[in-house]
Structure 1
Amino acid sequence: MRTYSLDDVYETRKRRDSWWTVYFVDPVACRVALPVANHTRLTPNALTVLSLVLGTVSAACFAANHLIAGAGFFYLSFMIDCVDGKIARLKGTGTPFGLWLDYVGDRIRVVLCAGGLAYGQYALTGDVHYVVLGAAVAVLDLFRYVNAPQMKRVREAIREERQEAEPDPLGQDPIDADPLGADPVGPEPFFAERPEGEPRGRAQRRIFARFFRRLNRFLARHRVRSHLVSGIEFHAAVFVVAPIAGAWALIPLAASSGALLLANEVFLVYRMWLFTRRHGVGSPQESREHVLV
């Protein structure tokens, strides 16, 4: 059996990932993945099941009002969930069933932990706001995971209609580009002189665009994607950071991180809408059936 090095494990990291994963999970997950790969026969699917078991323990701790223990088990569950992907990429043992299992396992973990957190706090305080909190967390997470594949199907439908069109000179559809935007021409002065006759509003938009391109390059150098508040950060805020801070932080942190997550989703939908307007498909009825059926 091949012996893997830590560098081999590092190569399995995603090119860009959430900042929570990059800074708070990957440093641990990579070191856990190394002995798992070299000294065990654990498969990615077995690790996914282990992750789900740990997530269930986390939910039970939340339900019993052991918030710090629940946060610890949730972190372990997510960390193992990262390890299974690394093992799959490292050994080439990933399967389509494994993708489904990982997807469903994540949803079950979030719903169980949201329910456990809501039940534990409601049983302790009788405050119905915690019930609303649990329901809102579950609904937001499910919306995000329903919305993402549907947007992907919209992109695929449009690409099929554009197969004979001239390809993008950058080799990338605008909707797939990083939200902060790429900079294909390299660095440029931040406050370049405004061309004569250019409206001031357009000049301001150009300055903001340059700022976001520079920010995007900075994040890319650190493997951080520009979706700074995605589902992973949302889960971390609700199930790790807030429980460690204490019950007082549950509702404020869940509400603020949920609002940021929803804003991110709305932004992605808006970008998709702009893209579909620029690259409309042939028949609206045919396109709707193709995407939604």
Structure 2
Amino acid sequence: MGGFTLDDVLAKRKRRDSWWTVFLVDPLACRLTLWVANHTSLTPNALSMISLAIGLGSATAFAAGVLPLGAVLFYLSFMVDCMDGKLARLKGNGDPFGLWLDYVGDRLRVLWCALGLGFGEYARTGDVAYAFTALGVIVLDFFRYMNAPQLKRVKEAIRTVTVRRMETECVFVEDVLQTRPRSEVKNLEVEEGKALVDLQKAFHRRFPWYDRFRVFLVRRRVRTHVWSGIEFHAAVFVIAPLFGARALIPVAIFAGALLLAFEMSLVYRVWLATRQIPKSAPERERILV
């Protein structure tokens, strides 16, 4: 059907992704995406539906107490979920509805698997801690997806107010750092009439080691938010079940604590950025988010 090569698929990966995806999912997902693109007529939305169906199978296995099978199915569900975006970018056959389907599918998979895992173990053992663990996983996943768009809105508001107060076009150091180390910023040539604005200056002053760490990860296509929802889900629904029911609660607590810590680090960075906004505006100006 198609003449795509593996290099074509690799070129359509996200520029940066979670380390779990980069190292433990993409090597297989890219090759399967190539086969799907060249030998089937499956659409990205169809892959999303397949991912959701496998996720339901994972939840069913968890509820039945077959934890290793549930872990394998969750991994496969996530892998197929990673394939739909690659296929859409490769063949150009994605559509806006796919964004909704992908988002809702992710949330349903986590909800079903958390309920199947937690309440399945509660039904078998009578230990209510499993049920509370399931609810905790659901709440943390909801918080993560609520926090991300809100922080994005705040960042956009910070940039808007900064440009207005500078009264000129701005080049943000944060954008420059997407492709180069911070050490090169001092030598950056900015077009005449534009201002170079560093909203992350306070953060980097407090954590000077961060830029070396960021560059190390970026060179390996790994994003700096090293414990995101993806790693959280992998720990709870893949790693813990492979070690048995006794591992579920301690792994969920540990993974949840890491998730909260990294989410709070994002909030902290944004808070520091708000303090870098130029103060030249009238006192009556406020940031609306």
Whether TM exceeds 0.5 here: the answer is yes
Q: Is this contact kept in 2: 1:161–1:282, CA < 8 A?
A: no
Of all paired residues, the percent bearing the same amino acid is 57
Q: Deviations over 1:117-136 (max 9, x none)?
A: 01111011110100110000
Q: Is this contact kept in 2: 1:10–1:30, CA < 8 A?
A: yes
Q: Match of 2:251?
A: 253
Q: Match of 1:85?
A: 85
Q: Is this contact kept in 1: 2:18–2:222, CA < 8 A?
A: yes
Q: Is this contact kept in 2: 1:63–1:117, CA < 8 A?
A: yes
Q: Deviations over 1:126-162 (max 9, x none)?
A: 1010011000000000100011011111222233333
Q: Which amino acid aligns with 1:238?
A: V
Q: Match of 2:4?
A: 4
Please give the residue correspondences for 1:53-68 in structure 2 after superposition, counting only pairs within 5 Å. Answer: 53-68=53-68
Provide the C-alpha distance between the structure 1 equivalents of 2:96 and 2:284, rounded to a whole number of angstroms.
Answer: 32
Cα RMSD for the two superposed structures: 2.4
The normalised TM-score by structure 1 is 0.84
- Unaligned 5+ segments in structure 1 are 187-204
Q: Which amino acid aligns with 1:257?
A: A
The 10-residue stretch of structure 1 (160-169 or 89-98) with the greater mean CA deviation from structure 2: 160-169
1:158–1:246 distance in 2 versus 1, CA, 3 Å: same
1:182–1:141 distance in 2 versus 1, CA, 3 Å: farther
Query: What is the CA distance between 1:182 and its match in structure 2?
Result: 4.5
1:130–1:282 distance in 2 versus 1, CA, 3 Å: farther
Q: Which amino acid aligns with 1:172?
A: E
Please give the residue correspondences for 1:53-202 in structure 2 after superposition, counting only pairs within 5 Å. Answer: 53-164=53-164, 165=166, 166-169=168-171, 172=174, 182-185=181-184
Provide the C-alpha distance between the structure 1 equivalents of 2:221 and 2:156, rounded to a whole number of angstroms.
Answer: 26
Q: Match of 2:192?
A: none
The 10-residue stretch of structure 1 (231-240 or 85-94) with the greater mean CA deviation from structure 2: 85-94
Query: What is the CA distance between 1:247 and its match in structure 2?
Result: 1.1
2:37 is equivalent to residue 43 of structure 1: no
Q: Is this contact kept in 1: 2:114–2:138, CA < 8 A?
A: yes
Query: What is the CA distance between 1:285 and its match in structure 2?
Result: 8.5
Q: Which amino acid aligns with 1:185?
A: E
1:274–1:171 distance in 2 versus 1, CA, 3 Å: closer
Provide the C-alpha distance between the structure 2 equivalents of 1:155 and 1:170, rounded to a whole number of angstroms.
Answer: 12
Query: What is the CA distance between 1:169 and its match in structure 2?
Result: 4.4
1:277–1:173 distance in 2 versus 1, CA, 3 Å: farther
Q: Is this contact kept in 2: 1:12–1:90, CA < 8 A?
A: yes
Provide the C-alpha distance between the structure 1 equivalents of 2:131 and 2:216, rounded to a whole number of angstroms.
Answer: 40
Query: What is the CA distance between 1:207 and its match in structure 2?
Result: 9.7
Aligned residue among 224, 227, 230 for 1:226: 224
Query: What is the CA distance between 1:273 and its match in structure 2?
Result: 1.1
Provide the C-alpha distance between the structure 2 equivalents of 1:262 and 1:283, rounded to a whole number of angstroms.
Answer: 34
The 10-residue stretch of structure 1 (78-87 or 153-162) with the greater mean CA deviation from structure 2: 153-162
Q: Deviations over 1:87-146 (max 9, x none)?
A: 011111222211111011101110110000011110111101001100000000010001
Q: Is this contact kept in 2: 1:16–1:223, CA < 8 A?
A: yes
What SS does the corresponding residue of 2:275 show, helix, strand or coil? helix
The normalised TM-score by structure 2 is 0.85
Provide the C-alpha distance between the structure 2 equivalents of 1:149 and 1:250, rounded to a whole number of angstroms.
Answer: 29
Please give the residue correspondences for 1:234-249 in structure 2 after superposition, counting only pairs within 5 Å. Answer: 234-249=232-247
Q: Is this contact kept in 1: 2:2–2:39, CA < 8 A?
A: no
Q: Is this contact kept in 2: 1:52–1:105, CA < 8 A?
A: yes
